[in-house]
Amino acid sequence: MGDLLFFFFSKYSNGEEMAKKELMFELLKHSWLLIILSILLLLLLSSRRRRNLPPGPWQLPILGNIHQLDPLAHRSLLHLAEKHGPLMHLQLGRIPAIIVSSPDIASEILKTLDLAFSSRPSLPPSAVKFWYGGRLAKYDEHWRQVTKLCMLEIFSMRRVQSFRRVREDEVDVLIQTIRQSSSSLVNLSKMFVFITNNITSREVFGKRFTYDGECNWSPDHDIFKEIIQLLSEFTAKHLLPSLEWLRKNSSFKEKLEKSFERMDQLFEREIERHCSNGDGDDSGERDFLSVLLKHHVDPNLGFSFTRDDIKAIMQMIFFGGSDTTSSILEWGISELIKNPRVMKKAQDEVRGVVGNKGKVEESDLQQLQYLKLVINETLRLHPPAPLLIPRECREECNVQGYKIPVGTMVIVNAWAIMRDPKLWENPEDFIPERFNGVAINYRGQDFQFIPFGAGRRICPGMQLGIAVVEITLANVLYHFNWELPAGTDMDMTESLAVILHKKSPLILKATPRIALG
């Protein structure tokens, strides 16, 4: 067809007398292709109309619309939505999906029709073991009971506040590690991963990943890093049934099994350690595993709470806590480096509030109002999960006049919503002041700003993550002046592997402001 169009425009446009006859001859030669394409188009359009699905782009056999997505799916989905609308239907391999790119439709799905969209997408057989049976993906009575238990015992504000000392201790270790570094250049991307993993490990297991007094690598860090990478690869293979042969004939399945075994052995080791120690302390500082094990053996609990449930919850906390929190810190500092005015204003505030006390404590955070605006603006521009975590339609329902079939995957493009120029003035600019005096927050009630989602499936641990972000960012700004290494520019290129990170590590020059001690 490309040759045919070239032929037509190159000859007919030049006014050659025989061009029309030659064009008709070429059309006859290619008529079989035109007929087939026309029939396919009519079938696709009539099928979409019969099923009353939302509008969407052309689909290819087997692939559907996957060929139209690039690795930065949040961006390519926005480009498609600009053509086909804020409620768009795609076929992702074998999985039907709707893509939501407006706050009104997000509110309808995550609030009005929340119950109908409260399940996670069905897991393929090869992933059921990895997710400990996938019981917490399905919305049912068991999920409701486990979620209620976690909200009361794990993610409550009382529990978040009980780990204040843990967060302050780990931030102290981070600051000392940066001070004692043999080089003034600091890889903050790595440092943020180490500190968030250590905090999460102390909250879950009651102990650090790394040795006392160190904020650096340990083998346990790599377990979760490897699994996140494999999950991204697994998702692509799951969407396309035609790639099942690749999954069977490659080393992918073996890698997944080995990673699962390493993670499961870590969980089993910690469960056995806790069981042998008794862990009878009822204070607010008990780690999560101790709390979960107490309920595991409680005969009056009222529902089945298995060992696999406990491990699935620990897995969720590590995946949903460490990587997302380090991503927010990484993007926050990157934006401050890019915007010296904002950096100065944030540092002036924290240094003015804390004075010569020597470090920022959590009791100081309520006074750091501009710092909170900086974090909000970071979440708006760089939400850790730009497409949120997909949901699945449990029952046929009507959205914006369109029929959504059971089993349809629902993807909310929070990244697109939070950069919509109809909702935000100068949406691509980093302007923390836009949140000043505005009653908008990230807790799931304001659908133009939903970095952690909304409804029944909102991120349950967001307050744990924000507490880490606030104390870490405040101390990093208080203790050091930061700048790019000589001759370099800030690279803001994104890399999406479940969580949105910078493609290149954040390496900055640190100049201590306050002498040690």
- What pLDDT sits at residue 384? 95
Instruction: Indicate whether 280 pLDDT > 60.
Output: no
DSSP 318: I
Instruction: Indicate whether 253 pLDDT > 80.
Output: no
CA gap 22, 5 in Å, rounded: 12
Cβ(407)–Cβ(119) below 8 Å? no
The proportion of the chain whose per-residue pLDDT surpasses 90, expressed as a percent, equals 66
496 forms beta bridges with 500
User: Which tens digits make up the pLDDT trace of 4-52?
Assistant: 333 333 333 344 445 444 544 554 455 555 455 444 554 455 445 557 9
- What pLDDT sits at residue 44? 52
Of the ranges 57-71, 228-242, 395-409, which is most confident? 395-409
89 forms beta bridges with 98
Sequence letter at residue 96: P
- What pLDDT sits at residue 344? 98
Going by C-beta distance under 8 Å and a sequence separation of 6 or more, which residues neighbour residue 124?
A: 238
Sequence letter at residue 305: F
- What pLDDT sits at residue 131? 82
- What pLDDT sits at residue 226? 79
Which CATH number describes the domain made up of 66-512? 1.10.630.10
Tell me which residue has tokens 């050659």: 16
- What pLDDT sits at residue 470? 98
Cβ atoms within 10 A of the Cβ of 3, count?
9
397 is in an annotated binding site: no
The predicted model gives 111-128 an average pLDDT of: 85
Going by C-beta distance under 8 Å and a sequence separation of 6 or more, which residues neighbour residue 281?
A: 290
Instruction: Indicate whether 314 pLDDT > 80.
Output: yes
Cβ(498)–Cβ(236) below 8 Å? no
CA gap 81, 100 in Å, rounded: 8
User: Which tens digits make up the pLDDT trace of 160-218?
Assistant: 999 999 999 999 999 999 999 878 899 999 999 999 999 999 999 999 988 788 888 77
Going by C-beta distance under 8 Å and a sequence separation of 6 or more, which residues neighbour residue 451?
A: 379, 380, 383, 384, 385, 414, 418, 442
CA gap 322, 446 in Å, rounded: 25
Give ranges for CATH 1.10.630.10 in the chain: 66-512
Q: How many Å is the maximal CA-CA distance in the chain?
A: 96
Angle among Cα 217, 384, 243 to the nearest 5 degrees reads: 85
- What pLDDT sits at residue 216? 82
Residue 282: pLDDT band with limits 50, 70, 90: very low
Give the predicted TM-score (pTM) of the model.
0.87
The predicted model gives 344-367 an average pLDDT of: 96
User: Which tens digits make up the pLDDT trace of 402-420?
Assistant: 999 999 999 999 999 999 9
